[in-house]
Amino acid sequence: MRSAAIEQIHAAYSFGASRWQVMRHVILPSALPEILTAMRVGVGFGWTTLVAAEMVAATKGLGYMVLSASQFLQTPTVIMGIIVIAAIAYAFDLLMRWIERKVIPWKGKM
């Protein structure tokens, strides 16, 4: 909410906007860039945590595959697993950037 300029809030109230309208049309659009950036970071941390959890306590998944292949010195499998993990992480990042462009086209223009 701190990203909304107080002048914009006062201007909306002076034009007769209700509290709900100020929240919906001034405060939420101002806060959306930070919200979606935090979601993007959260998706990255979530993916990293998932792969790490698969390495620690799973019997299936990419993390388990990479860890078990490394124990049997299957270097091509390890490298391919790392590439797949990175490609999926990059795809998640591209998806979040696309969502940001569609939902908040004004980002960086306020």
Asked if residue 70 belongs to a domain, the reply is yes
Q: How far apart are CA 55 and CA 9, in angstroms?
A: 49
Mean local confidence (pLDDT), 48-54: 95
- Percent of the chain at pLDDT exceeding 90: 86
Residue-range definition of the domain harbouring residue 75: 32-103
pTM of the entire predicted model:
0.80
Q: Is residue 27 part of a domain?
A: no
- Residues shown for the chain: 110
Q: Is 95 inside any structural domain?
A: yes
Instruction: Please name the residue that has the structure tokens 């990479």.
Output: 66
Q: Burial level of 66, CB count in 10 A (0-12/13-18/19+)?
A: buried
Could you report the per-residue pLDDT of 35-47, keeping only the tens digit for each? 999 999 999 999 9
